[in-house]
């Protein structure tokens, strides 16, 4: 057995141990036991993923495990990258869950769902046959649904979010199932090796791609299939939100890359234009919604849509370049997309976990009711700031590195000969630029309004710092962010191998140890030097202030409050007021609903007694696209209910006529 195969065995073994521990351990020690076992499971995932990404192979075929087909697992570098990411997220989230699930989230079901969910995500990228893939996909969906529903007794919104999630994820599952089964039927076998060798007609290939794309894009939270994401991620417990938002959505991208590039071997340009368009729409729509929302976890959920949109944009661009025969650029764009998957996983884990400890300490996710946490939760604030810097894609954060690479790939595709490329690429560059700008505003809002200034509610005032296990989980994620920001060059060989699986014949997209030097095109950037320069500049300015400022006498003065009697929390910016200018600018897209009720005093209509102002920014796609759909389904269901009127005779009649129809149909067709 190779090391990778031992690792697969370890994953399976640890998952079983963790589930048994969740079922058997007494309630008092359950979170600790399950959390440690799941962290070990995640560690095994990292080890296997890193080995696979380093080029070590390993395959397992267990014919007895699944009737008719058997379970077939095989690692290649592409799958290895995704498994390692999922493993790393799982370690941080599992450590965090030891502290987080202690109060009210320690039931057997919720605890057992966690290792199941993690194991499914770790093994999914290794699936090497359609049956195995679908089995693990469904296991992942079911386990995550249990986690989303964990707090359904406490809040009614959880049940609604769970309903949306269950329907969307299973609708996606159905399209993936249809697509892959069609593929397998026409390929004459269900292992991925047989699918790769299959010779399909172009129409069939496009059908397979489109069907799977719908399912995978829905999992990746791409517009307009994203509606479950901003509902389910806020309502799930925070360690589950982190796992879903940082690890599970990535597997949607994995599916598109695996099926589109690897199994189907690329396709016509319009496939990839579609992916690119989906990505661009998701990036813009996601960050716009994030910029105006006031719910911290909903904001992070929309930011996931944005970041996965950027990844899809990179994947689409890579497909376009590969179709046009430009392998260097295709490799660069895909490497940038994969690097962004890794970076996004690091900072989104951190942000969701930090949002969880805020929720834990204050009981609210509403930014308008937070504030002043810097003094009361200094560690969480610092860690959230690290994540926010990365998510805002500003140097020296890690988000900047991958967005820079993506921009380089897009910019260097010009001047292009193909009309599609010449039109799309400048638009894509503009989308990324606008997205990056809005992301800065969004995360300034999240950090500034949520953590700085004065507390706005008693809950925020009485917040206390979270425990060591939760801090350790967040600390790991923050360390990953810093590491990725300073030394992304370490990932270059693994990314190059992963890209080669998808686009054969590419070289490493970048070279250099300290500097990312693009191969094939001119361009280089050194994250380490940028960080060093920023540190030197900051230290220099501080030292200069100290030296030159010391010459003048200093005096302490109170904060300028316009001479009035001190500032209150009511004078602060809120998330609503901070987002208001953006909401005004993008009024046509967002269509906010606001109404003002003015009550006058009885004596005079010129004197105002109270003013009520309400503002909601509904998800417009949900309103315009899904509400009519749901209404139609409901009407159909109502019509169907008339058939079931409770009469046993009628039901027997249905069965009888059903059998007759079937027999007639068989007699006619045979």
Partner 1 sequence: MRRLLGKIRRTGRVAEPPIPASEQPAPAAAAEFGGSVQIRHVDAGSCNGCEVEIASAFSPVYDAERYGARLVASPRHADVLLVTGPVTRNMADPLRRTYEATPEPKVVVALGDCARNCGVFAGGHGVIGPVSDVVPVDVEIAGCPPPPEAIVAALRNLTGR
> What is the binding site for partner 1 (CB under 8 A)?
557-558, 560-564
- Quote the least distance from Cβ 560 to partner 1, whole Å: 5
DSSP 413-436: T-S-SSHHHHHHHHHHHHHHHHHH
CB neighbours (10 Å) of residue 109?
12
Cα 148 from Cα 494, distance rounded (Å): 33
Q: Going by C-beta distance under 8 Å and a sequence separation of 6 or more, which residues neighbour residue 389?
A: 396, 397, 443
Cα 654 from Cα 649, distance rounded (Å): 9
- Quote the least distance from Cβ 245 to partner 1, whole Å: 43
Of 35, 417, 405, the closest CA to residue 237 belongs to 35
- HEC profile of 125-185: HHECEHHHHHHHHHHHHHHHHHHHHHHCCCCHHHHHHHHHHHHHHHHHHHHHHHHHHHHHH
Q: Which residue has the tokens 């010459």?
A: 551
Using the minimum distance from each CB to partner 1, give the nearer residue, 563 or 655: 563
Using the minimum distance from each CB to partner 1, give the nearer residue, 69 or 573: 573
302, 283 in Cβ contact below 8 A? no
Q: What is the DSSP letter of 2?
A: -
- Quote the least distance from Cβ 580 to partner 1, whole Å: 22
Using the minimum distance from each CB to partner 1, give the nearer residue, 203 or 557: 557
Using the minimum distance from each CB to partner 1, give the nearer residue, 325 or 563: 563
- Quote the least distance from Cβ 550 to partner 1, whole Å: 17
- Quote the least distance from Cβ 563 to partner 1, whole Å: 3
Q: Which residue has the tokens 């965090």?
A: 96
Using the minimum distance from each CB to partner 1, give the nearer residue, 103 or 558: 558
Using the minimum distance from each CB to partner 1, give the nearer residue, 555 or 642: 555
Run of H or E including 242: helix 238-243
How far is the first Cα of the chain from the last one, in angstroms, to the nearest whole number?
50
Q: CA of 402: how far to CAs of 314, 340, 516, in Å?
A: 10, 5, 11
- Quote the least distance from Cβ 552 to partner 1, whole Å: 9
Using the minimum distance from each CB to partner 1, give the nearer residue, 561 or 593: 561
Q: Which residue has the tokens 């764009």?
A: 333
- Quote the least distance from Cβ 275 to partner 1, whole Å: 51
Instruction: Give the chain's length.
Output: 670
Of 625, 552, 617, 562, the closest CA to residue 586 belongs to 617
Dihedral sign from CA coordinates of 458, 464, 465, 468? negative
- Quote the least distance from Cβ 573 to partner 1, whole Å: 18
Using the minimum distance from each CB to partner 1, give the nearer residue, 564 or 640: 564
- Quote the least distance from Cβ 548 to partner 1, whole Å: 16
Using the minimum distance from each CB to partner 1, give the nearer residue, 548 or 560: 560
């Amino acid at each position: 057995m190779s090391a990778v195969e031992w690792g697969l065995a370890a994953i399976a073994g640890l998952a079983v141990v963790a589930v048994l521990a969740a079922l058997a351990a007494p309630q008092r020690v359950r979170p600790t036991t399950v959390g440690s076992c799941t962290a070990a499971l995640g560690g095994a995932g990292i080890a296997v993923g890193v080995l696979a990404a380093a080029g070590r192979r390993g395959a397992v075929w267990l014919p007895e495990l699944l009737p008719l087909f058997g379970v077939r697992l095989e690692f290649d570098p592409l799958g290895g990258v995704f498994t390692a990411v999922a493993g790393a997220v799982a370690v941080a989230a599992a450590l965090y869950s030891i502290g987080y699930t202690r109060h009210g989230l320690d039931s057997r079901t919720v605890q057992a769902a966690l290792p199941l969910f993690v194991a499914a995500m770790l093994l999914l990228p290794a699936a090497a046959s359609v049956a195995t893939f679908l089995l693990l996909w469904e296991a992942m969906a079911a386990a995550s649904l249990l986690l989303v529903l964990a707090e359904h007794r406490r809040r009614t919104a959880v049940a609604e979010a769970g309903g949306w999630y269950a329907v969307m994820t299973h609708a996606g599952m159905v399209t993936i199932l249809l697509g892959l089964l069609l593929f397998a039927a026409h390929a004459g076998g269900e292992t991925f090796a047989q699918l790769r060798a299959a010779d399909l007609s172009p129409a069939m290939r496009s059908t397979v791609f489109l069907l799977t794309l719908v399912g995978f894009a829905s999992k990746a939270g791409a517009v307009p299939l994203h509606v479950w994401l901003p509902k389910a991620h806020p309502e799930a417990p925070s360690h589950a939100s982190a796992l879903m938002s940082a690890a599970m959505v990535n597997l949607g991208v994995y599916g598109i890359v695996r099926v589109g590039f690897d199994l189907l071997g690329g396709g016509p340009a319009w496939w990839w234009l579609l992916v690119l368009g989906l990505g661009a729409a998701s990036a813009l729509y996601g960050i716009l919604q994030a910029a105006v929302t006031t719910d911290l976890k909903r904001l992070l959920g929309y930011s996931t849509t944005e970041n996965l949109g950027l990844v899809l944009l990179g994947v689409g661009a890579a497909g376009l370049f590969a179709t046009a025969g430009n392998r260097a650029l295709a490799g660069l764009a895909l490497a940038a997309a994969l690097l962004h998957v890794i970076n996004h996983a690091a900072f989104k884990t951190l942000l969701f976990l930090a949002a969880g400890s805020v929720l834990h300490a204050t009981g609210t996710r509403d930014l308008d009711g937070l504030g002043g946490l810097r003094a009361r939760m200094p560690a969480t604030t610092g860690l959230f700031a690290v994540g926010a810097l990365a998510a805002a894609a500003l140097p020296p954060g890690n988000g900047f590195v991958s967005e820079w690479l993506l921009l380089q790939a897009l910019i260097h595709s010009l001047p292009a000969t193909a009309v599609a490329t010449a039109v799309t690429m400048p638009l894509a560059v503009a989308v990324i630029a606008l997205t990056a700008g809005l992301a800065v505003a969004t995360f300034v809002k999240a950090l500034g309004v949520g953590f700085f200034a004065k507390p706005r509610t008693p809950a925020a005032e009485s917040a206390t710092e979270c425990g060591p296990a939760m801090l350790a989980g967040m600390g790991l994620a923050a360390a990953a962010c810093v590491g990725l920001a300073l030394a992304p060059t370490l990932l270059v060989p693994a990314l190059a191998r992963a890209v080669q699986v998808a686009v054969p014949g590419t070289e490493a997209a970048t070279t250099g140890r300290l500097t990312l030097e693009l191969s094939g095109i001119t361009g280089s950037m050194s994250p380490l030097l940028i960080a060093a320069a920023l540190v030197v500049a900051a230290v220099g300015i501080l030292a200069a202030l100290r030296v030159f400022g010391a010459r003048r006498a200093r005096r302490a003065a109170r904060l300028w409050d316009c001479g009035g009697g001190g500032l209150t929390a009511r004078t602060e910016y809120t998330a609503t007021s901070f987002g208001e200018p953006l909401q005004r600018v993008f009024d046509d897209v967002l269509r906010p609903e606001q109404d003002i009720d003015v009550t006058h005093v009885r004596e005079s209509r010129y004197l105002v007694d109270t003013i009520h102002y309400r503002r909601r920014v509904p998800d417009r796609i949900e309103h315009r696209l899904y509400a009519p759909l749901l209404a139609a389904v409901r009407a159909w269901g109502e019509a169907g209910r008339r058939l079931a009127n409770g009469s046993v005779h009628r039901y027997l009649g249905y069965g009888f006529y059903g059998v007759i129809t079937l027999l007639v149909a068989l007699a006619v067709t045979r």
